[in-house]
Amino acid sequence: MALLQMQRIYIYALKKDRKKILELLQRRGVIEIRSMLKEDSIFHKTDVQEAKEGFEKNIALVNNALEMLNSYVKEDNSLLSVLYGKKEIPVEVYDSFAEQYESVIGIANRIISLSKEIVECRAEILKLQAQIEILKPWVNLDIPLNFKGTKYTAGFIGSLPRAWTLEELYEKLAQYMPLEIEIISSTKVQTCLFVLCSNSKKDKVFEALREIDFTLPSLSIDKSPKEQLQTLELELKKLQDQVDMALEEITSYDKERDNLHFLLDYETIRLEKYEVIGKLLQSKNVFIITGFIPEKDSHNVTEELKSKFDLMVEVEQPKKKDDVPVLYKNNGFSEPLEGTVNSFSPPGKGEMDPTMAMSLFYYILFGLMLSDAGYGFIIAAGCAFVLYKFRNTLERPMKNTLKMYLYCGVATVFWGVMFGSYFGDIFDVVGSTFFGVTDIPVIAPLWFFPVEKPMLMLTFSMAIGIVHLLTGLAMKGYQMAKHKDYKGIIYDVVFWYVLLISCVILLLSMEMVTNILGISVSLPYRVIDIAKILAIISAVGIVLTNGRESKHPFKRFLKGLYALYGISGYLSDVLSYSRLLALGLATGVIGSVINKMAAMTAGGFFGPILFTIIVIIGHALNIGINALGAYVHTNRLQYVEFFGKFYEGGGKIFKPFGINTKYYKIKESRKYGSIK
């Protein structure tokens, strides 16, 4: 439960070596670059915005190209792909990529161009298909759709809703004879027709047609529909061939996917490097790097830099005003929970790392909430298998997550054995249903069944909660001891310890409380009397000291009373641990219900098959839902109840200048710099 000691580092080097030095430091990933010196008439910062915009443009270009390529050729992204981690490449491969740089950029641009071409062609194809559908009813018409008539005649080409017969049409237009009507095509929804009349009657004929909902075609062409249809079909085939060729070409770039991935990482690395360059103070010939480095790495970094370049390195302890970044130092048992602490907030200035103390309770609380040996075994075995199978490829965040659930699974197995829960009561149900076993339970709990003794489980849960809260208070005392605030230890820790423990003793001396909890406690009267006296003394001490920052006596007294009122908060905190009972019972009861539902279908030839299916599906759902609940509520107990006693956070995680890529990582032997 410690944080690595940080140091300030100053590197003064020649500008001609800037590229090589920055690339070396980026591969090492052990220095967080900070601007610690002010600009003056000699040293100033360089404007790198234009270069950064170029890299950002290329990153966006490659992302778009990959997205478009994926829309035509699906990338093999199985659920297991995340377990293989980033591909390792030698530094020489990275250095030599400059030779391929322009060609890969060209490929990315070509993919985008082809995709744009495909989209435009498909849009034009849809447009042509719509025109073809419009023309199909007119294919038997041998004159252009925009025909208006001759010198002495007027022609009307259009459509009417529903199916019409020639008799119906002539009946409607009989008074305007002579005229010629030809039905070009007819369906249930429309009738396409051509009407020819004398010029003297064209207005009246058109008006009569309008009265029966006559509409003109949406296309006006100077060819016959058949000729125009042939032209459109040729254009359609040409566009489809163009799309097919573009698809074939864009599909061929699937083999360039790795190069595109590398280009994305390559530009990301360069962008990060130029972001650092923008923070550096530089003169005509010299540049200065300032920042923080873990003390354990400072010597090796200094020696390597001096052995390869002409430069000067200074290392010193941080100043009080410095916002020093946080870098954890935990063992394999606690390290998986560093991300959980970060989700709340990294340790602030002067605070200790709570990860180790939290981990001691985290796994226990998770196991109590899930508390089924079968579920715990599945979680632990699954995580152990993945950790072993992919031990050489897993990235650290994924590895820590799996390790966390591995330990949670082990704790769940332990509590499941203590409480006799194995996939609910599966052994009892299988034994009684299929083998006629009457000696139930088949496997007895090492301690007790929570379903049969819920009050004992509640008492145990609250006891765990009291220990958890007192540990939080102890952590507060430890932090005060580190800052040599010995009075604060007495006022804010010892008094509360005495008061809380005394109150617990007094509560246990009450018959009503012990009856509710279902326990039997016999305390000597002398112990009870001492507890009363200590409770009064500690309460008075809290009232008199917790407002000590105020100079006015009355304000100090009121603040002290308010602080004493905080004991009600401890009561509510202890009651919060009843969720251990609730979630533990929920897991077991739901599991038992699933087993009983399965047992109801166990008769007949297909009974065992149905029984197995219901058990597998039911317990899969139960483990998913209750494991999620256990995770959420375990975090809540840490963040609210435990951290609330001593921890505020507000720190900043150590973010070294390094290689933060998506697909590749550079493999290079080194003797230091194990950064998480």
Q: pLDDT per residue over 7-33, tens digit each? A: 999 999 999 999 999 999 999 999 999
CB-based contact 374:619 (threshold 8 Å): yes
Instruction: Give percent above pLDDT 70 in the chain.
Output: 98
pLDDT at position 60, please? Answer: 97
CB-based contact 308:28 (threshold 8 Å): no
Q: Mean pLDDT across the stretch 186-213? A: 92
Helix, strand, coil shares of the chain as percentages rounded to 5? 60, 10, 25
Please choose, from the candidates 466, 547, 548, 476, the residue with its C-alpha nearest in 3D space to the C-alpha of residue 499: 466
Indicate the average pLDDT of the chain: 92
> What's the CA gap between 158 and 612, in Å, rounded?
69
DSSP codes, 490-532: IIIIIHHHHHHHHHHHHHHT-HHHHHHHT------HHHHHHHH
Q: Residue 154: beta bridge partners?
A: 149, 197
Q: Mean pLDDT across the stretch 611-615? A: 96
pLDDT at position 668, please? Answer: 66
> What's the CA gap between 161 and 141, in Å, rounded?
19
CB-based contact 663:264 (threshold 8 Å): yes
Q: Mean pLDDT across the stretch 37-63? A: 94
pLDDT at position 499, please? Answer: 95
The answer to whether residue 674 scores a pLDDT higher than 60 is: no
What's the alpha-carbon Rg for the chain, to the nearest Å? 40
Q: Mean pLDDT across the stretch 315-343? A: 94
pLDDT at position 546, please? Answer: 87
Q: pLDDT confidence of 350, banded at 50, 70, 90?
A: confident
Q: Mean pLDDT across the stretch 535-557? A: 88
CB-based contact 293:315 (threshold 8 Å): yes
The answer to whether residue 248 scores a pLDDT higher than 70 is: yes
Tell me how many helices (H) and strands (E) the chain has: 23, 13
N residues, the chain: 676
pLDDT at position 676, please? Answer: 38
The answer to whether residue 671 scores a pLDDT higher than 90 is: no
Say whether 167 sits in a helix, a strand or coil: helix
**pTM of the predicted protein model:** 0.85
Which single residue is written with the structure tokens 């400059």?
Answer: 98
Q: pLDDT confidence of 547, banded at 50, 70, 90?
A: confident
DSSP codes, 59-72: HHHHHHHHHHHHHH
Q: pLDDT confidence of 78, banded at 50, 70, 90?
A: low
The CA angle 519-523-526, to the nearest 5 degrees, is 165
Q: Mean pLDDT across the stretch 245-265? A: 94
For residue 160, what is the DSSP state? E
The answer to whether residue 416 scores a pLDDT higher than 70 is: yes
* Residue 190 C-alpha from the chain's centroid: 55
> What's the CA gap between 336 and 44, in Å, rounded?
42
Q: Mean pLDDT across the stretch 361-390? A: 96
pLDDT at position 190, please? Answer: 93
Which single residue is written with the structure tokens 């042509």?
Answer: 128
The residue that leads in pLDDT, 523 or 256, is 256
pLDDT at position 460, please? Answer: 95
> What's the CA gap between 271 and 273, in Å, rounded?
5
The answer to whether residue 345 scores a pLDDT higher than 90 is: yes
Q: pLDDT confidence of 672, banded at 50, 70, 90?
A: low
Q: How far is CA 613 from CA 72, 382, 604, 616, in A?
A: 39, 21, 15, 5
The answer to whether residue 548 scores a pLDDT higher than 90 is: no
Q: How far is CA 500 from CA 286, 456, 491, 535, 574, in A?
A: 63, 21, 14, 8, 11
pLDDT at position 79, please? Answer: 63
> What's the CA gap between 227 and 51, in Å, rounded?
57
CB-based contact 367:633 (threshold 8 Å): no
pLDDT at position 591, please? Answer: 96
CB-based contact 535:506 (threshold 8 Å): yes
The answer to whether residue 666 scores a pLDDT higher than 90 is: no
C-alpha atoms less than 13 angstroms from C-alpha of 293 in its C-beta half-sphere:
27
> What's the CA gap between 556 and 542, in Å, rounded?
11
pLDDT at position 198, please? Answer: 92
The answer to whether residue 480 scores a pLDDT higher than 90 is: yes
pLDDT at position 221, please? Answer: 86
